[in-house]
Amino acid sequence: MGMDKKILELAAKYRDYTAENLSKLVKVKSYSSQEEDVCRLIVTLLEEAGFEDIRIDGLGSVIGKVGNGPKKLAIDAHVDTVEVGNRDNWKFDPFSGEIKDGLVYGRGTSDQKGGAASMITAGRILKELGYGGEYTVYFTFTVMEEDCDGMCWKYLIEEENFKPDLVVSTEPTSCQLYRGQRGRMEIRTILKGISCHGSAPERGVSAAYKAARAALAIEQLNEELPPDDDNFLGKGTVTVSQMDVRGPSQCAVPDYAMLYLDRRLTWGEDADFAIAQVRDVVSKATGDNPEDIVVEMPMYEKVGWTKKDYSQELYFPTWKTEEDHFFVQAGVDAYETLFGKKPVVDKWTFSTNLVATTGRHKIPAIGFGPGDEVQAHAPNEITRVDDLEICAAFYAMLPLSLEKKGGK
């Protein structure tokens, strides 16, 4: 029996095991920076599955490996989740982890503990098959992604000197092969006015009216942003996500306004470009000198469960891997070998940890994960057990396909 058949056989054999592990993960609440309990559980699951060199890094991410080859392949899942939101929107307990009718129910099933569960099974399969090929396969279960995507990997690469040759994200792709995503950044714009008594507003300069004009200018900017040259990632976007206007009292013209922007960056756009663009658009809308407008990237400074002091600016660079790259082609080969058909090759709408590995550090990357993007951050989140089985097989097959394609 060929290795592909053995992998499929074991993925099917461990189908219930994978779903049950996902159920266990869902039952452990793990909001960003509060992941200690789920990380401790993952360590136990990795030990039971036979992973090697299991450790917890300085920020709290769990890392284990299979194999001992000279090349390093990392397969990544973040194990934090967003919060539940309005419980009235949920038809079931968000932390039930119920398995029923071919689905697993609960917060994080698609985004993205499903990927983590499939990774554990993939490692178990590789161990059972005695994998000893060209790759050391690292499985990373990372923290704080929902709050600050990629910071966990920025830390691993820049502080712990762990830099793999290739990276797979197991964020939800509906079992399609993804090779890129738009980047993103957060921008804070501060406008100044001159306060005066509300009974004579003509004596002052209203920061509120400046903010209103600036917001409409940002709306227009969003309409005018162009797509990337090959129209793979599509156009960038910008939207006002928060506004704050203040003055000395409720009976005064406000002298302070803040607009918070969510900016999605397509290929060819970066932080300097986006900040200069916002400064220009807002200054024209308000009539202020560009130098008098504060346009800045805020910092992310939340402390994680290990209490490690680490932060970064809220900038997450765009990335893509070309379709003819050997890594993408190895992903196509793995899927086609296992399932007898070519995968759909596409991209994410949202942002992932690959903004750090690939956007910042240029490590070639692909994405392949169970569940659907539309389930992310939504109430009544579910994922399909079929997807878990497919992904477990794919992750186990990938190092073999990489060897076939001569990946370096």
**Active-site residue list:** 80, 145
CA distances from 363 to 48, 133, 320, 332 (A): 31, 21, 10, 19
Asked if 59 and 152 touch (Cβ cutoff 8 Å), the reply is yes
3 state SS of 56: strand
3 state SS of 40: helix
Number of other CB atoms surrounding residue 405 within 10 Å: 18
3 state SS of 253: coil
What's the half-sphere exposure (Cβ side, CA atoms, 13 Å) at 21? 29
Number of other CB atoms surrounding residue 236 within 10 Å: 25
3 state SS of 73: strand
CA distances from 299 to 40, 186, 212, 260, 333 (A): 29, 9, 25, 13, 41
Number of other CB atoms surrounding residue 181 within 10 Å: 27
User: Using CA atoms, how far apart are residues 288 and 214, in angstroms rounded to an integer?
Assistant: 11
Return the H-helix or E-strand segment holding 72. Answer: strand 71-78
User: Using CA atoms, how far apart are residues 235 and 246, in angstroms rounded to an integer?
Assistant: 34
In the numeric block, which tokens belong to residue 147?
């709050």
3 state SS of 210: helix
In the numeric block, which tokens belong to residue 380?
């009544």
User: Using CA atoms, how far apart are residues 86 and 185, in angstroms rounded to an integer?
Assistant: 27
The pair phi, psi for residue 39, each rounded to 5°, is: -65, -40
